[in-house]
A = this chain, B = another copy of it.
Amino acid sequence: MKILHLPGQLKLIFQDHNDYLTAQHSILAMSAYDSPLLIHKLLSQTLYRQSPSEIVYGGTRETWPVLYDRAMRLASWLKSSGVKRGSKVAVVDFDTSDYLEAYWAVPSVEAILHTVNIRLPPEQIVETMAHAEDQIVLVRDEFAPLCARISPHVKSLEKIVVLSDSDSMPETAPHGSILYSDILKEAARHEPEDFSENTPATLFYTSGTTGSPKGVWFTHRQLVLHTLSTVAALSFSESPVRLEAKDVILPLVPMFHVHGWGFPYASGLLGQKYVLVGKYDPGKILEKLSEEKVTWSHMVPTILNLVLNHPSLENHKEALSRWKVVIGGAALPTELARRAMKQGIKIMAGYGLSETAPILTLAVPAEAEYDLPPSEMLEKSLLKTGLPIPLVDLRIVDKDMKDVPRDGKTIGEIVVRAPWTAREYYRDADLTKELWAGGWLHTRDLATIDKSGYVKIADRTKDAVKSGGEWISTIELEDILNHHLSVLEAAVIGAKSSDWGERPVAIVTTKAGASLTESELREHMSIFVEEGRIAKFWVPDRFVVITEALPKTSTGKIDKKPLREKYASILTP
């Protein structure tokens, strides 16, 4: 028998020890305050110390406290406009400081920030906004004409707010639209109160290369934990791209794409200088690197490639030599990494998915490499998929959910658990069940794991070629093709084979002025077979050299879907 003494001579008597403990830990501690994990609290230290670091966008410079003040004016306008817990507020914009304000404003009133993918075709934008039931949309002036298409199909839409650098309403904006700058002039400042950390905060649609865009949403708790773990892993790990509070960030992952990989929130936590470039233009990016003394960026390989190929590159040697770059979204090709390092850029790969907020792994070096020069770290760690960051539980499993051996060879699927994984595909129970089959989030990425735990993506399940029951990694084959000095871009796809089910076929474009033949490429491949890097049966059956550019997805990755359709029957005519 246990007795619990309460204030005012009250006593509770328990027979069961566990009941007693439960009551004790909850009742006695009633007066304590539980601090929920809320997104706007990530900014609290930066605001507390009135960080002087600036958010730079076009001609405007504002500190984090100023940005937060503007965000909280937007927040109070949202509340007075009927936005409440669960309301969706969409943003259709490039990377601007207005967008960054919405990142903090919308979740602070328990509403859900829908970051609309502006690279989708207009009808898909409308489709995702209708699916989300967006109530308010913040739209950049040059997208205003899109609103005419949105309004009739998105029945839930109540208000259109126009974002404009010139502070003037474009003629193309629908009647009744409101100018963002007018809202900020009039609105009072919202002071957010605490609410449940499990409140949904963001929603976006993955632009996957198959099927309709799928919605994923994340809660305050998930995004706070994602931010803390990412920041910790990037800062404490010994790597060439170590993140520091004094870094100047120029994000090159669009804010509509998986929370810009979380850096709008991470940089707010650190109170860093944050340089926004609107639309991505390699020449402008290089200029900003020099002008704003940028030290840190994250991007997909395509963007790095564009920057490195830009004619003004040589004018920015000093800026490049202090640039730390994290690459994700696709494997980082060795040759691209070496070209970047030749310019003095420090580089490292990372990995994640739309469904995981996104960060899961970073290719940080292990203890044994700490004293190596970065060029030697490349193959050992920096180019790999890496190691899980804190709180990520990651396995590579076969089709029976058994862990594959740590031999760096056996290919399996990456499955994960983490405190920031999407709970569902929004309103799609069947796909959700597939995603979470067996209680683990299925990444649909194939990978190997070596004895030190380093993961290396072999391929996407949908991209890998299954030849005679064996997986062939198209990424590995593409990397080898990219080693050829005349190759500009390469894509390997699976084509139907009557003997093997599928066989690999390579589609290649050449650099300006270069020419290539099928036999040259076959010979190039054979070197890597002899070296033992790939098995002989991995060599593609055909090498198709084309003159037009390879098709790209909205996020700039090579889009293999049209290639697969076009070349499906090339081996079985």
Contacts and interface: CB of A to CB of B under 8 A. Distances in A.
Interface of A: 5-7, 17-18, 21, 24-25, 28-29, 31-37, 41-42, 44-45, 48-53, 85-86, 200, 217, 224-225, 228-229, 231-232, 235-238, 243-246, 269-270, 366-368, 370, 387-394, 417-419, 421-424, 427, 429-430, 432-433, 435-437, 439-441, 451-454
Given A28-B427, A49-B452, A391 B243 contact: no
A28 B424 contact: yes
Contacts of A6: 429
B419 A7 contact: no
A370 B247 CA distance: 12
A49 B366 contact: yes
A269 B18 CA distance: 31
Contact of A235 (B35, B200, B232, B440): B232
Given A50-B452, A232-B228, A389 B45 contact: yes
Contacts of A85: 18, 21
B439 A31 contact: yes
Given A25-B423, A236-B243, A388-B45, A432 B32 contact: yes
Nearest to A44: B393
A427 B25 CA distance: 9
Among A5, A32, A417, chain B packs the most CB atoms within 10 A around the CB of A32
Contact of A427 (B7, B24, B217): B24
- For the complex of A and B, list the 6 residue pairs with the smallest distance between their C-beta atoms, beginning with the closest: A29-B423, A235-B235, A32-B423, A235-B236, A31-B436, A49-B453
Given A18-B86, A31-B433, A246 B238 contact: yes
A163 to B, nearest CB: 27
B21 A270 contact: no
Contacts of A28: 423-424, 427, 429, 432
Contacts of A366: 49
11 contacts: A5-B427, A21-B85, A28-B432, A33-B439, A35-B393, A35-B418, A35-B419, A49-B453, A225-B228, A228-B228, A235-B236
